[in-house]
Chain A
Amino acid sequence: MQTKRTIFPNKGLPWLLIGPQMIVTAVFFLWPSAQAIWTSFRREDPFGLNTTFVGLSNYARLFESGEWLEAAGRTAVFAVSVTALSMLAALTLALAANRVLRGSRIYTTLLVWPYAVAPVVAGVLWWFLFNPTIGILPLALSALGIDWNHRINGDQAMILIVIAAAWKQVSYDFLFFLAALQSVPKSLIEAAAIDGAGPFRRMRDIVLPLISPTTFFLLIVNINYAMFDTFAIIDATTSGGPAGATNILVYKVYADGFLGLNLGSSSAQSVVLMLIVVALTFVQFRYVERKVQY
């Protein structure tokens, strides 16, 4: 690890300085995570009095149960849809904002504020718009002959949470795309223009390849967001329903643990999710390291 040449010689002081962080980390992060791992290898008896060691059986049940695998598949569909929708919209807007000469700042301000909207509020906003009895959108859709009711129709419920989750993430992606676009050297674009490349050719062959590190970074961040930070959106709109159609993994951990009180299974799910986060973080940091050396 990189260090400073000049340091302070104190022995006790650094412990005092780093102590608070270490205590909070140990008590509220490491200990609960260790507990989750420990519980995932055990099963409670029906009265909740004793637990016995059951090895990997909680995990085996998880992977054998169609329910968990279905939730995993649903999570994949959800994550891919949210990522694709928010990134495409953000890239389009960033390309446009990067092009305008005047008013770019105002457009940026008007586009970034949803970042500050709480996920649960974003959920409530879209849930209100799509509300089958009073919402505006179902009224408009019925004019097109579409009968909207996300309380009954699982696919429509999924569309609802995808839109709400993507809406909230667009501002974040937009800012990163815009920063990347602004760092593309003007001289390259001008050279290509002199060689006769039109705006779309320049975008495809110069701009998009140059911002690809940002695109990759956003890809990971967006998948992470869709998998773990959308809990509140789902809880506010569909609560995992109807009939589990929007019950993604992170919601299922909560539902099985707090509502179903199935501790062994919930812990095993926690551990699997932690492994997924670790894998995603690892990929992300590998990429950051490469970029730094490059």
Chain B
Amino acid sequence: MIENRRWLDFLTHAILILGVAIVAFPVWVALVASTHPAGTFATGHMPLLPGGAAWENYSTVLGSGMRGAGSEPLWRMLVNSAVMAVLITVGKIAISLTSAYAIVWFRFPLRVVCFWLIFITLMLPVEVRILPTFKVVADFGLLNSWVGLTLPLIASATATFLFRQFFMTVPEELVEAARIDGAGPMKFFRDILLPLSRTNIAALSVILFIYGWVQYLWPTLVTTDPKFYTIVMGIKRMVAVAEADPQWNFVMAAVVLAMLPPVLVVIFMQRLFVKGLIETEK
């Protein structure tokens, strides 16, 4: 630092600690609530320190689900969420890689038109055109299926742009050398381009996994069969039940479980996460 100002150092840390505390407060309360027996909440006073029923609460929601919510056990919803998030991530990356490859290294009629059509999807969030999209999926008979759950979310303008941007920086000589050595387009793609894109793919995967995990409206509409419920939409159902029959310990245990996987991904892959976030938005 340029000059030494003790009071400013103090202020800086005070602001940061306060910020961290405010950001963490709701989660702390949820954590605490998930460790108390249901009876604690009957008094009308929320405890602020952890109780002793954590094991019971978590094993109940994971093993058998919440009573009255007509819900599946939570481990199943967690698996569903993971499957959906992974399918969306892999699907998005696969079709974005190949289409960016086609746009950068091939000439074909309507190339520019295709590029702009992909671009337009950037502007149409699913919430905005929810009814007609739902109708298309219903007409195809894809309600209550993994295809219906993931395929409509797979088209990705941002991923395509990111890969296109990256491919543009690949030196011409690399392609020339590959062609002289007799490598065809698929061999070049598999043996040179994919290894080069590794970091970008990893960074993007972190962002897309989170994107897939937190989906709410689409799974809510497309699935009516509990077999396909994801944890994020399951929570909404549990809350609705808890209004009448308060089982806050179970609801908050579910909340904690729903947060855990993506939050851990962000914390342990922070470098990739920051890279992915900042690059996809450029």
Contacts and interface: CB of A to CB of B under 8 A. Distances in A.
A87 interface: no
Interface stretch (B8-16, B55-63, B70-78, B195-203): B8-16
B24 A117 contact: no
B194 interface: no
Interface size, B (range): 35 or more
B215 to A, nearest CB: 8
Given A29-B120, A35-B132, A189 B12 contact: no
Interface stretch (A67-75, A152-160, A168-176): A168-176
A261 B251 CA distance: 31
A161 to B, nearest CB: 14
B263 interface: yes
Interface in B85-116: 94-96, 98-99, 101-108, 111-112, 114-115
B168 A112 contact: no
A241 interface: no
B41 interface: yes
A100 B20 CA distance: 15
Interface string A195-214: 00001000000000000000
A231 B2 CA distance: 45
A11 interface: yes
A50 interface: no
B213 interface: yes
B133 A32 contact: yes
Contacts of A115: 210, 266, 273, 277
A109 B131 contact: no
Nearest to A236: B236
Interface residues of A, number: 100
A101 B104 CA distance: 43
Nearest to A135: B46
Contacts of A26: 117
B172 A117 contact: no
B27 interface: yes
A189 B1 CA distance: 10
A230 to B, nearest CB: 9
B264 to A, nearest CB: 8
B19 interface: yes
B46 A134 contact: yes
Interface string B219-244: 00100000000001101100100000
Q: Which of A21, A22, A124, A235 has the most chain B CB atoms closer than 10 A to its own CB?
A: A21
Contact of A100 (B13, B23, B25): B13
B216 interface: yes
B129 A11 contact: no
Nearest to A178: B274
A167 B24 CA distance: 10
Given A17-B102, A179-B278, A170 B23 contact: yes
Contact of A117 (B104, B239, B262): B262
A191 B176 CA distance: 49
A28 B130 CA distance: 10
Contacts of A221: 281
Q: Which 6 A/B pairs are nearest by Cβ-Cβ distance?
A: A32-B132, A118-B214, A14-B106, A116-B262, A17-B102, A35-B132
